[in-house]
Amino acid sequence: MLFDLVQIEENWGGPDDLTYRTVLAIFVPEAGTLRAAIGSADHAALPRLAHTLRGAAINVGATRLAAAAGVLEHAAPQAVPVAIAALDAALDATLAALAAGGPGLDG
Amino acid sequence: MARRTVLIVEDSQSVAMTCKLQLEPLGHTLLMAETGQEALRLLGDQPVDCMLLDLKLPDMDGLDILRDVRARAAPPSTVVITANASLTMAIEAVRLGAFDYLVKPFAAARLTTTVTNALANTELKREVETFRRTVEHDGFGDFIGRSIPMQRVYRTIEAAARSSASVFITGESGTGKELAAQALHRLSPRAGKRFVALNCGAIPRDLLESTIFGHIKGAFTGATADQEGAAMRADGGTLFLDELGEMEMGLQTKLLRFIQTGQYERVGEGRTRPADIRFVAATNRDPAEAVRQGRLREDLFYRLYVVPLELPPLRDRGEDILLIARRFLTDFAQQENKAFTGFSPEAEVLLLGYGWPGNVRQLQNVVRNAVVLNDGAVLNETMLPTLAAAAPVPVRVQEMPADTQIRRLADVERAYIEHAIRVCDGNILVAARKLGISASTIYRKKEGWAAE
């Protein structure tokens, strides 16, 4: 599940809410910036960047991305490459769904 | 609730925007910080009433910000924002004094309710703090006194100081209108700039305009050089206009334009200059009456009467009279090299019973005169002749019934009140005033007598 529609319904009144759409428009470039930062960050900076991405993802109900960011946030050093790969996949899927019109379409 | 300032400290732009959009309907001023350093800078720049704080910031630990904020005077209530996995940190934050925490994701209603509660909490804490401080120090700023009417004055000053809204002070002469204006300035974010006070009643009418706005050389006879006015000196600060009702109408129009546009012209100069000024005005009479009489422009009055502040007369301030008198006694005794250390109980009774038409200024003069003219350790009632002369005559023994029979006090009281009502032709209001009690006391007593 990419998006938690129940949560989006409860907290925003639905995926078509104007405020929600406004926040999504900021979330998309923010997620891109954080992805780039994670790609070039040293190990010490990773948990905080992952934490920020997780918070931003939870806020818009992007469940799978939030979970992937949470894994990276707490990953042991040897697990970091795998966690980053999983995060990349989740980000790709989430951003693609948003580009296609956002939550509500993907189920 | 009045407009308050909420600081949002959050490094994620989309989360910060979420808070901003959800809080906007409350109508408060919203400040945004992405880093801890920025948050601390904003907290130093202006008074903040509530802080939303993300605990994980790029440059510092949110808990350190919390500790820093708690050490400040009149700190804002803090609401910690957390993602559920870091709940232990949120609990730690509450232990460190955070007001509440919000777990991401949260609904708009949850956020606005929490912030509104936090703002109410800040207000309450500040109220208690004002109360505690005034009781501890017997005063506030340069004010001495902790009476209930003055506590209200201090709270209004503290609340109004944080905004740049105009304040209109009323109060009899000698009640401390300029002290109040100074306190407003000192507690405001403008404290670093100048406080300029002008008494419109004390400056000759034809000089008042150039005193406020300044003039250029040759603007009028005697204008031998360019002169800056109060407007320029008070730029960024506070301009206090006392006895505003004494300003002539033409100048009131110019002042109104200045307040509305933030622009003024020096006398004789063809160009306008900007000035950012917080206005505090005062009159010692009812300003609404001055408006009715046509001595004060109504639009100017409403422009300045945003926050009304009424200073109580000294006679309504109870024990404050003694606190102030003792302070003056200590100060003047030191100045005049006298040994006075206090008042006699009889002198204190006189001070408390007097009407003080000239308020604190009169009390100051009375104490100064007594200190200058007398010697001793104790200032007694014979050293306060003006007050003794004005004191009510005590009931003399001759007015008492000649018989030796002692009657019940309640009977004497009833007889005397009924006597007073008869003398006043049955008018209970007049009788009550002459007896020095309230009419409701008489009505209550009459009910009691009827029940006997």
Q: What share of chain B is helix, strand, coil (3-state, %, to 5)?
A: 50, 15, 35
Residues in B closer than 8 angstroms to A11, CB to CB, are 105-108
**Structural domain span for residue A24:** 5-99
* Any domain includes A58: yes
Asked if residue B446 has pLDDT above 50, the reply is: yes
CB nearest B14 (choices: A11, A48, A59): A59
Per-residue pLDDT tens for B229-286? 999 999 999 999 999 999 999 999 999 999 999 999 999 988 999 999 999 999 988 8
* Any domain includes A11: yes
Residue B396 pLDDT: 47
CATH placement of domain B5-128: 3.40.50.2300
CATH placement of domain B315-390: 1.10.8.60
CA distance B62 to B47: 19
Q: Are B306 and B165 in contact (CB under 8 A)?
A: yes
Work out how many domains chain A is built from and give that number.
Answer: 1
How would residue B382 be classed by pLDDT, with cut points 50, 70 and 90? very high
Residues 6+ apart with CB under 8 A from B183: B140, B141, B142, B143, B157, B161
Asked if residue B385 has pLDDT above 70, the reply is: yes
In this prediction the ipTM stands at: 0.90
Share of chain B above pLDDT 90, in %: 51
Per the CB < 8 Å rule, is B56 touching A27?
Answer: no
B408: how many CB neighbours lie within 10 A of its CB?
8
* Any domain includes A107: no
Per the CB < 8 Å rule, is A26 touching B14?
Answer: yes
Q: Which residue would you say has higher pLDDT here, B93 or B171? A: B171
Strand order in the sheet with B278-283: B195-199, B238-242, B278-283, B167-170, B307-310
User: In the predicted model, what is the mean pLDDT of chain A?
Assistant: 90
Least confident segment among A18-27, A77-86, B133-142, B211-220: B133-142
Per-residue pLDDT tens for A43-77? 888 999 999 999 999 999 999 999 999 999 989 88
B27: how many CB neighbours lie within 10 A of its CB?
11
Task: Tell me which of A28, A34, A59 to substitute to probe the interface with B (most B C-beta atoms closer than 10 Å).
Answer: A59
Asked if residue A104 has pLDDT above 70, the reply is: no
A93: how many CB neighbours lie within 10 A of its CB?
16
* Any domain includes A51: yes
Q: Measured in whole angstroms, how far is the alpha carbon of residue A18 from the centre of its chain? A: 20
How would residue A106 be classed by pLDDT, with cut points 50, 70 and 90? very low
Mean pLDDT (whole number) for B358-374: 94
Residue B398 pLDDT: 45
The one-letter amino acid code at B27 reads: G
For tokens 């993300």, what's the residue?
B54
Assign a CATH topology to domain B139-310. Rossmann fold (3.40.50)
Asked if residue B95 has pLDDT above 90, the reply is: no
CATH 1.10.10.60 in chain B: give the residue spans.
Answer: 402-451
Residue A107 pLDDT: 40
CA distance A37 to A42: 10
Token digits for A27? 């979330």
How would residue B17 be classed by pLDDT, with cut points 50, 70 and 90? very high
Q: Are B209 and B254 in contact (CB under 8 A)?
A: yes
Least confident segment among A25-29, B24-28, B155-159, B337-341: B155-159
Q: Which residue would you say has higher pLDDT here, A23 or B425? A: A23
CATH 3.40.50.2300 in chain B: give the residue spans.
Answer: 5-128
Model-wide pTM > 0.90: no
Task: Tell me which of A9, A58, A95 to substitute to probe the interface with B (most B C-beta atoms closer than 10 Å).
Answer: A58
Q: Does B14 touch chain A (CB under 8 A)?
A: yes
How would residue B224 be classed by pLDDT, with cut points 50, 70 and 90? confident
* Any domain includes A32: yes
Per-residue pLDDT tens for B179-218? 999 999 988 888 889 999 999 988 888 889 999 999 998 8
Residues in A closer than 8 angstroms to B56, CB to CB, are 48, 51-52
* Any domain includes A87: yes
Assign a CATH topology to domain B402-451. Arc Repressor Mutant, subunit A (1.10.10)
Asked if residue B25 has pLDDT above 90, the reply is: yes
How would residue B400 be classed by pLDDT, with cut points 50, 70 and 90? low
Per the CB < 8 Å rule, is A55 touching B107?
Answer: no
* Any domain includes A36: yes
